[in-house]
Amino acid sequence: MKPAKNSVNRRSFLKASALAGGGLLLNFSWLAKAQAADKAEILNLPPQWTEINGYIQITPDNVVKLICPNPEFGQNVMTSLPMIVAEELDVDWKNIVVEMGPHDNVKLGPQFSGGSQSVRMYWKPLREAGAAARQMLRQAAAETWGVPVDEVTTKAGVLQHSGGKSAKYGDMASKAATLAVPKGMTLKAPKDFAIVRQSKRNVEGQKIVTGQPLFGLDYRADGMLIAMIQHPPAFGMKLKSFDASQALKMPGIRDVFSLKLYEDGFEQGGFDTRTFNELLVVVGKTTWEVMNARKKLKVDWEPTGDTKDTLMGRGSKREVVVPGGLESTSSQLEKMAEWAKKPAQVLRKDGDPETAFSNAAQVIERTYTAPFLAHNCMEPMNFFAHVTDEKALLAGPLQAPGWAEPALTKILNLPADKIEIQMTRMGGGFGRRAYTHYMTEAALISKKVKAPIKLIYTREDDMTYGIYRPMYTATYRAALDANKNLIAFHVKGGGIPEHPIHANRFPAGAVDNYLAEGWEIPSNITIGAFRAPRSNFNAAAEQSFLDEVAEAMGKDPIKLRLDLLKRAKENPVGKNNEYDPDRYAGVLKLVRDKSNWNRAGVATPGNEKYSRGVAAYFCHNSYAAHVVDMVTRDGQPYVERVFSAMDCGIVVNPDAATNMVQGAVVDGIGNALYGALTHKNGAAEQSNFNNYRLIRHNEAPKQIEVHFVENDIDPTGLGEPPFPPVFGAVANALYKSTGKRFYRQPFAEQLIKL
């Protein structure tokens, strides 16, 4: 095995190291942003250290403290990332203590949880950090004992020599801190892993189940006030005037005022999205008092008209016109149908699809639609802020502190080193907490009232504030020749306000004549990343359509997919195909075998037959396939069990990975059957769980069997990939159950009419 490249030089290591109580503090930085005085040193670091940091502290009593740099919202990175370090460090997992690190864009890099990148991004650097620390401890022991370093071995945090000498890591930590970082490190072969690939309990599990204060809503500070925002009742409206006289008379109320989130001309970063810019704020002593005072406000609202936003991205800026008007779902659907008939942007074209379709013996054409979806994190948006003229302290749940900090520095007029961001555990994220306007709102409110405050959204605030999964539609067409061979494939998709199409994914590369097009309709309803952005709709439509194509061709749906993947491997069309046909086919074969797909008449305990649906998809560098088994109870179809197959490379923590897939399956079934957020005259028609339908406990599958493809590929992501194909598998099972194809989400609305 090739030795890994050295990650830090001696000077940077010694600068980042410190002795505390005789212990060893190792700080492996690949610095994302530098202080001016350190910039030259930072630029000398190798490229692989530009995005990650491992932080290791060994105490004299052999306890190893690992700081998790990435925010935690249930994906279990606070356990899996330390496992990676511990593997190469060779320590006893029982002696590991894990803490969530604060935001530190010098020591800890971008600290972004999203895009299924946490383990993938940290895999190699954290292994290198652990291996470097282990080698330095071996060197310290060798020098102390006067023996060659090659004769010093380690086992579970203990250094040993064949001559009978032994010492704990903590005994050698101080000396190790004075040594040079090794020039080359050999990382373990996967076959030698002792911690990675072994299930470990969530390091915060006991704290969670015993109700310890881990989440943003739990955060408290002396003198803290509560703030809430009264936002306009509809998208396309803004504050005109208000009368707070009655609200100010309510018990516990300190102040009511309006302020702007972004001043005119503010250059928004990619995650500075916000819906309502003019804030009407109520501040008081308690949440209950503030909620009651808000009801006493007398507010006049007015139309916004068209507005302009200045957006920064990829080194340039552009102006975007946000249209005014009060939008309704019914008119949005009509507008999408009109736009679908217009010429669209060509995203990819292979061969001559126009001729192939004109000469086809049979053309299959279907259109799919899906509504806006609310993220509905269990913990609504909240953030603590204490801002003074000199500094700012912020604490709360967010996915991307490094991306929020630039906006804070501009808005608060404070340098980054005067802004401290503490990250709490998140009660759900799913992309919603990457858009941290609520953090900036809290900071501005604290600055205004000159006191520490916690901004809290109610469920109604959260659900009606925007940042939704977009509204989508796509039309798929397939051309068959006289022998029922697939000769052309066409997808044309659009949405409000973005299209869902990934033009270079399957079945691109598997069909001679292929065309992908996209179009977008501007809107004042704000959208954002929603677990597996765009893929969650694209997979649903594509996988439903492929089943219908398979039926027209007289083929088993899994065989059709495998045949296309074989073509993509042996004689691919085009050069930009994103997926690996072998890995894609691997999950299909695994789920086929584990579900006994080809065995007819699989029965439930009640002797009912399962209605089976299958779907598979590639996104976020990983591959997922599901077989959904559906039964009918009381005249309604329910998903009774699910077989899932995943290829996400090396699985760090198998139990946690299984839980991740199971959660994605339940989430996907619920959204496919019930999820929908609609608008009438700009106002969201759903504002809480009484009218925004979620899956219920008795509707969840009784069995979700998860299988992973075993390989030694570096981890490639798991949080999002299992989610998108669930929608298609449910739709395909519904067809087998009801005899009806489902083209419009959510499906449950159509089941009622059957």
How confident is the model at residue 129, as a pLDDT?
A: 85
How confident is the model at residue 654, as a pLDDT?
A: 97
How confident is the model at residue 753, as a pLDDT?
A: 67
Nearest in space to 66 (alpha carbons), one of 44, 47, 83, 90: 83
Nearest in space to 394 (alpha carbons), one of 374, 366, 422: 422
How confident is the model at residue 706, as a pLDDT?
A: 98
pLDDT band at 612 (very low <50, low <70, confident <90, very high): very high
Least confident window among 270-279, 313-322, 446-455, 650-659? 313-322
pLDDT band at 16 (very low <50, low <70, confident <90, very high): very low
Least confident window among 45-49, 68-72, 118-122, 298-302? 45-49
How confident is the model at residue 58, as a pLDDT?
A: 82
Mean pLDDT of 448-460: 98
Q: Domains in the chain, ordered, with CATH?
A: 4-209 (3.30.365.10), 216-308+381-456 (3.30.365.10), 471-752 (3.30.365.10)
Is the pLDDT confidence value at 30 over 50? no
Least confident window among 63-72, 107-116, 596-605? 596-605
Q: Per residue in 624-671, pLDDT tens?
A: 999 999 999 888 899 999 999 999 999 999 999 999 999 999 999 999
End-to-end CA distance of the chain: 61
**477 HSE (CA, 13 A, CB side):** 19
Helix or strand holding residue 563 (H, E)? helix 557-570
Average pLDDT value for the chain: 90
The residue with greater pLDDT, 482 or 22, is 482
The residue with greater pLDDT, 123 or 48, is 123
Q: What are phi and psi of 457, to 5 degrees?
A: -95, 140
How confident is the model at residue 11, as a pLDDT?
A: 34
Q: Per residue in 348-397, pLDDT tens?
A: 999 999 999 999 999 999 999 999 999 999 999 999 999 999 999 999 99
What is the chain's alpha carbon radius of gyration, rounded to the nearest angstrom?
28
Q: What share of the chain is helix, strand, coil (3-state, %, to 5)?
A: 30, 30, 40
pLDDT band at 451 (very low <50, low <70, confident <90, very high): very high
Q: Report the distance separating Cα 625 and Cα 327, nearest Å.
A: 37
Least confident window among 2-11, 68-77, 171-180, 703-712? 2-11
How confident is the model at residue 109, as a pLDDT?
A: 64
Mean pLDDT of 687-700: 95
Is the pLDDT confidence value at 225 over 90? yes
The residue with greater pLDDT, 575 or 572, is 572
CA-to-CA dists, residue 167 to 62, 147, 192, 716, angstroms:
10, 14, 23, 37
Is the pLDDT confidence value at 213 over 90? yes
Q: Report DSSP state, residue 77.
A: H
Mean pLDDT of 210-221: 95
Q: Report DSSP state, residue 615.
A: E
Least confident window among 174-183, 195-204, 241-250, 407-416? 174-183
Nearest in space to 537 (alpha carbons), one of 373, 365, 348, 694: 373
Q: Quick check: bond before 533 cis, omega within 30?
A: no
Is the pLDDT confidence value at 524 over 90? yes
Beta strands in 191-243 (DSSP E): 225-230, 237-243
Under a CB-based contact definition with an 8 Å cutoff, are residues 229 and 278 in contact? no
pLDDT band at 738 (very low <50, low <70, confident <90, very high): very high
Instruction: Point out which residues pair with 489 in neighbouring strands.
Output: 478, 514
Mean pLDDT of 194-201: 97
- Percentage of the chain lying above the pLDDT 90 cut: 78
Q: Under 8 Å CB-to-CB from 340, ≥6 apart: which residues?
A: 367, 473, 475, 492, 494, 519
Q: Which range scores top for mean pLDDT: 8-12, 35-39, 559-563, 599-603?
A: 559-563
* Residue 337: count of CB within 10 angstroms of its CB: 12
pLDDT band at 60 (very low <50, low <70, confident <90, very high): confident
Under a CB-based contact definition with an 8 Å cutoff, are residues 737 and 611 in contact? yes
pTM, entire model: 0.91
How confident is the model at residue 500, as a pLDDT?
A: 97
Is the pLDDT confidence value at 600 over 70? no
Q: Report the distance separating Cα 370 and Cα 537, nearest Å.
A: 7
Amino acid in the structure at residue 172: M
Q: Which residue has the tokens 């997979």?
A: 539
pLDDT band at 19 (very low <50, low <70, confident <90, very high): very low
Under a CB-based contact definition with an 8 Å cutoff, are residues 84 and 54 in contact? no
How confident is the model at residue 418, as a pLDDT?
A: 96
Q: Quick check: bond before 654 cis, omega within 30?
A: no
How confident is the model at residue 200, as a pLDDT?
A: 96
Nearest in space to 124 (alpha carbons), one of 132, 115, 114, 116: 132
How confident is the model at residue 99, as a pLDDT?
A: 87
How confident is the model at residue 304, as a pLDDT?
A: 96
The conformational region for residue 241 under phi > 0 = left, psi -120 to 50 = alpha, else beta, is beta
Q: Which residues of 173-185 are buried (b: 16+ CB within 10 A; e: fewer)?
A: bbbbbebebbeeb
Instruction: Point out which residues pair with 736 in neighbouring strands.
Output: none
Helix or strand holding residue 297 (H, E)? none
